[in-house]
Each structure stands twice: as structure tokens, then as C-alpha cells.
Amino acid sequence: MSLTRVNSSAATLTKNRTEDSIVPTSGMCVTCVDGCIGMCEIGKSAYRGHEVIYPQPFGVITTAAEKDYPVDYSHFNIMGTAVGAHGVPADSDKAIFPKVNLEVVFGHDRGIKFRLPWIIPGIGSTNVAKNNWDGIAIGSALAGTGLTIGENVVGMDPEAVIKGGRVVDTVDLKNRVRLYKDHQRDGYGAIVVQANIEDTRLGTQEYAIEKLGVQAVELKWGQGAKDIGGEVKIRDLAKAQLLHKRGYIVLPDPTDPHVIQAFEHGAFTEFERHSRVGMVDEEGFAGRVAELRKAGAKYVFLKTGAYRPADLARAIKWSSKYKIDLLTVYGAGGGTGMSPWRMMNEWGVPPVELHSLLYRYAKQLADRKEYVPPLAVAGGFTFEDQIFKGLALGAPFVKLVGMARGPIAAVMVGKTIGRTIDQGMIPVYVERFGTTRDEIFVTAADLRRELGDAGFERLPTGAIGLYTYYERLAQGLRQLMAGSRKFACNYIDRGDLAALTEDAARISGIDYILDVDREEAARILTA
């Protein structure tokens, strides 16, 4: 049985002519007929070529792989119990789920505190991030969670002022940081500025530290969606030329007269901007960490992708050696604003396997009394049960779960609802809940009370959408944790999971469900 679908996908806006009769290995129609207009990926590639590599339409979508991996987080179940409580007295009047504490504290000085155990682990220069940033930043800040500004934001900003190859001013990054900071409450959460090769050359993180007061920065080795640098589409010739001048890889060459002529004549409508592939070595890594700390960074993070196991070992060992404050590990298939579609589906170590290796490597360091950095896991997490499982699989080392597509979706829906309210064209599906912000968004009353009428009215509905989605996740997670009698995140452990298949048990080291509590059950039965 094939684990992936080839040659047709909603991601590439392609389909088969014989939709119900497909060759599993090639994805081709069983009868490929002369005269077909070419709706499949092969056919579309015959006239649009490399454009078909990427999910479409760019700028208004986020994408994740549709490959059905043999093992995923659904192959584990959460174990509840009828006995005891951890973190509160074992009293039915006190051990109630609203009492579950979801706060997480981490960093070398335990100076970073989140109200909720998740973070958005890097959304950068794509249009879908830029166009929804107010909702993403404000909603994250109000919820007291972390938000990472991803790669290439400065380089993509046409208003950025760059002198001698270094940024001295930038509108976009400044605005992104400000929107988050202006809505932080009681010191919860953190805004993080990430950097790839191009960002490092521009001095983006030094600028963010010195001019914007950013305390946390992140080095980026990779992500789950792809094993190459970030990329976007550019529809403006002048901007493509600007990015070429700033040192980005822009295809086709926007300075070539023949390319310019073809673009102006409509032969193609989009340029591709690509980032470089990083070259990691320990000396360079150690040097960059030292540079950032010297520049004033209070916290230094690292994010890596679904690379081979040896690269994961390097990531956690060097994070241990150089006292990284958070290591995020992103499994294959993770969401993105733009990645090559086949690459997204066919490269890298899937989440369960990667996160199981991460636990194994972390435990090896811990057993040798070496520093284990706080860990975050990412790759397809969207709901409270998955968050619980991610925390449990990597316990006690995993402190956070990374999510991006789910939060972006919540922001976009919130934004859309706000627009329909303003236009007086609320969809019937939504209108059954009301016709105003206060009626439609279930968290509106709480936000209005906390922020005041004026503060609430200024909120973009995208931010309300994200805050409300997070409120659902928080309550759902509290219920799951209360069922396991774990009333704070630090009590969650691997014993709170059971593997539903022997493969899942073998890969993760989590007990197969029929082996859970085997010895304890025997003692109870023979007492």
C-alpha cells in the first residue's frame, strides 16, 4: 500500500482524468490518453515546469504534507487513572480540572515564563505571515505564549535601510516586535527573532537586540517541511531586483534583459526568492552563540529540522555544550508558507520517530549528568490531545510543543469573521451564534472585562480568533491532565501514554497497551 499520493493534489491544483483508476506507484491515470489537456502534475509540468513544484496559490495558504506515515501520534492513547493526584491534594473538591496549572518556566535562569506550554516556532517573510501578523502577534501576547519571528523578514522589507551590508533600520521587523510587546501582560510570553544565513549577514539579530530590546534570539538549522532554505514568490520586478541586489538567490535572474522582457510580456508572473543552505560546524556554532551573547542576547535558542539522526545528535549535544536555552526539533511534513511539495512529503524523519530519538539522546546526556536544554517538539500538532502526547513522549525534557498552521488558521478565520461583520454579510454557519464580536467570539466577555471597552474594540478579530482557539486548547488540555491526575505540566511523564501498536511501542519505548501496569496489576490481584 502506498503511503503517499503522487501526481495529483489540491496542493498543486492538479487532478487525474481517471480519478478512480490510478496506478499507485506513479499516480498516473491507468489510461493516459493522447489529447488530454494535462490536469495532472505531469501534464501541468509539461507547460508550467518548475512552477508546479510548489503548493499554490502562494501567499494565501499554508501547507503541510499529506503523506500517511506508518506511525504517528494517534498510535498512542493517554492513560487516565482513578487513583490519587499530583500537584494538588487527592480531594474531589480540590482536584478539579480548572485547577490544572499550564504554566511553563525555562531558560538558563528560569526567566522565561509562558502561561501555556506551546510556542509558534517561526513564521517569517511569507505573505500569509505578514498579512496576518497583527492577529498572530497580539493573540499570542495576550495568551502569554511564545512567538518566533522567522527568517528573512528584514531582507524582504523594501523599506529596510541597509548600510555596508548591515541593517540599520527596518519597518517590518520593528512593527512585528512592537505589536507583540505592546500586548504582553505580566511578563508572560516571549518574542524571539530567528536568523538564517542571510539574516546573520545582515546583522538582523544584533539590530533586534540593540534597537528593539529583544532578549531571545534563535539560530535556525532547518524545519520539518524542507531541507533547503526558505523561499517565497515575488510578483514585482523591482522587488525581485532589490532582493537580488541584497544577495538572495532569485530565479530567474531579474537583472537579465531577456528575463525582464519575458516577465513584461507575461511569459511568467512570479520570481522565486531562495535562501542559502546552511553549513553547520561546531566551531562556527559556538562562535555565533558567543557573538550573540556578547551582543546582549539574554537567551539563545536553536531550531533544527527533520535531518538524519546524526544531525539531531549534533543539535542536542552542542545545545548541551554551549548552554542553549531552548532546542526546537521539527518533524517531517511540518507546515510552511512555501516548500517544494514532493520534498515536503518525501524527505526527513517523521515526528514520532524523530521525537523518540530526541528523548533517547536527551536521556543519554542526562544519565551522564550533562546539561539537557529545554526541548520543544513540532510537526503537525493542532489539538490538546496531541499537545499532551508530545509533552509526555519527551518527558521530562520536553517543555513545549511548537505549532504554526493551527494558530495561523485560527487567525485567518477570526479575521474573515471580522470582515463579514463589518460588511454585514456574516455566513449562515457563523450567524447562528450572533451578529457581533461579543456574540460570536466566546472569549469576548473575558477580553472586554480585562482590556476595557476601548482596548477590546481595538483588537483585530484575528487576534480574538487566536486567543479563543488557545482558550479551547487550554481547557481541553486541563481536562486531559486532570483525567491523568497531573495538575501541572511538570508532572506529565511517559507513563501517561500507552502504545496502541507494537511498532509504536518499539519506536518510542512507550509500553504497549497490554503491558501497561503489568507488574502493578499482578501485585493487586495477588494481594
What is the pLDDT at residue 127?
86
138-164 core/surface letters (b: 16 or more CB in 10 A; e: else): bbbbbbbbbbbbbbbbbbbbeebebee
- Helices 444-458/461-483 angle, 10° precision: 160
Judged against a pLDDT cut of 90, whether residue 338 lies above it is answered with: no
Judged against a pLDDT cut of 80, whether residue 164 lies above it is answered with: yes
E strands, 262-314, where? 271-274, 299-304
Backbone angles phi, psi at 193, to 5 degrees: -110, 120
What is the pLDDT at residue 230?
82
Angle at 346 between CA 285 and CA 357, to 5 degrees: 50
Q: What is this structure's pTM?
A: 0.95
What is the pLDDT at residue 170?
95
- Parse the chain into domains and list their residue ranges: 10-53
Which of 13, 207, 34, 185 has its CA nearest to residue 114?
185
Spatial separation of the C-alpha atoms in residues 66 and 1, rounded to whole Å: 15
Spatial separation of the C-alpha atoms in residues 231 and 423, rounded to whole Å: 35
Average pLDDT score over the chain: 96
Spatial separation of the C-alpha atoms in residues 344 and 296, rounded to whole Å: 36
Spatial separation of the C-alpha atoms in residues 390 and 11, rounded to whole Å: 27
pLDDT, tens digit, 9 for 90 and up, residues 432-473? 999 999 999 999 999 999 999 999 999 999 999 999 999 999
What is the pLDDT at residue 336?
79
What's the whole-number mean pLDDT along residues 397-408? Answer: 97
Spatial separation of the C-alpha atoms in residues 214 and 191, rounded to whole Å: 7
Number of Cβ atoms within 10 Å of the Cβ of 464 = 28
What is the pLDDT at residue 58?
83
What's the whole-number mean pLDDT along residues 476-498? Answer: 98
Spatial separation of the C-alpha atoms in residues 476 and 490, rounded to whole Å: 17
Local structure of residue 52 (DSSP, 8 states): G
DSSP H stretches of helix in 325-460 = 341-346, 351-367, 384-393, 405-423, 428-431, 437-440, 444-458
Backbone angles phi, psi at 146, to 5 degrees: -90, 155
